[in-house]
Amino acid sequence: MDSVNSEGCQKFFRKSHLRISRKSSALFLKFVIVTLLFVSTCSCISVKETENFQASCSKYFIIHKVGLKNNDIDRTRNKNSEQNDNTDENVSERLLYPPEKSDFYVQYSEKFGIDFDGTENRELLRAVDNWLGTRYRLGGKSKSGIDCSALVQLIYREVFGIEISRSVGDICENDLTPVEKESLQEGDILCFKTKGRRISHIGIYLKDEKFVHASRKHGVRINALSEDYYRKRFVFAGRVSKLLLSRLRPHPPAPSPKERGRGGPGVGCVQR
């Protein structure tokens, strides 16, 4: 009896163990499958997140680079605009004071002892420079010798295309409209009494009280109205009248060979 019971118990335990083993195996398989599914799902999610992260990073870098490029472009544009502004200012300066013009006026400022600012008549300065140093000769009107009235007449003819009278008396009486000394402009004619009671000498005003004239002792030169000799003998200043300005000569005739060699009639000035 006891042996039968022991065998039955053994069979029962064997069957139970088999059932438990089978159930455990099934559960284990389920666990493994679930674990694998979970791991694969997590992997997919992580891959997706990684891809999204990489895409976000790429977008960020692209935007950042584009932003940098845009900033570079903006900086370049600003720089170019500043350069263009500077260029415009330089162009404006060049138009007002071209380099060759500036050099021109610097040269003549040093040569004449007058502070020219770039607004003066270039042809007048050239004409004055052309005659400077020419010796004085009464009645002369060439490079070999010239008097004060001929100097004024020839410069007006060459620079302004205006024909004025030949003698000092006729110029002062007929060709000029008086102007105040404080209102002098370049090209105005200055009249002096250097001998006797009559006006006997004239010159052309330049700037800063300086004028060019043909001096009896020194020839064609530049002096100042503030010098005692000329300040005491100055009578009045005149501007070529408007009626005379209409008598323009676009191509004034040059002095003839005879005039260049021998000079004209003695109708010049008397002064030191």
Whether 269 sits among the annotated catalytic residues: the reply is: no
Contact between residue 171 and residue 213 where contact means Cβ atoms under 8 Å apart? no
**Looking at per-residue confidence, does 216 or 253 come out higher?**
216
In this predicted structure, what is the pLDDT of residue 123?
95
- Active-site residue identified among 148, 172, 191, 269: 148
In this predicted structure, what is the pLDDT of residue 62?
41
| Long-range contacts from 72-77, C-beta under 8 angstroms, 24+ separation | none
Could you read off the pLDDT of 67-81 as tens digits, one per residue?
Answer: 444 455 455 555 555
- Active-site residue identified among 172, 191, 201, 269: 201
Domain boundaries, the chain: 1-96, 120-262
Whether 218 sits among the annotated catalytic residues: the reply is: no
- Active-site residue identified among 9, 17, 172, 213: 213
Phi and psi of 244, rounded to 5°?
Answer: -70, -30
Sorted by sequence, the CB contacts under 8 Å of residue 88 that are 6+ apart come out as: none
Q: What is the DSSP string of 206-247?
A: EETTEEEEEETTTEEEEEETTSHHHHHHEEEEEEE-HHHHT-
Whether 148 sits among the annotated catalytic residues: the reply is: yes
Contact between residue 190 and residue 203 where contact means Cβ atoms under 8 Å apart? yes
Quote the CA–CA distance of 211 and 230 in Å, as a whole number. 11
pTM beyond 0.95: the answer is no
Please name the fold of domain 120-262.
endopeptidase fold (from Nostoc punctiforme) (3.90.1720)
Could you read off the pLDDT of 220-261 as tens digits, one per residue?
Answer: 999 999 999 999 999 999 999 754 555 454 444 444 445 444
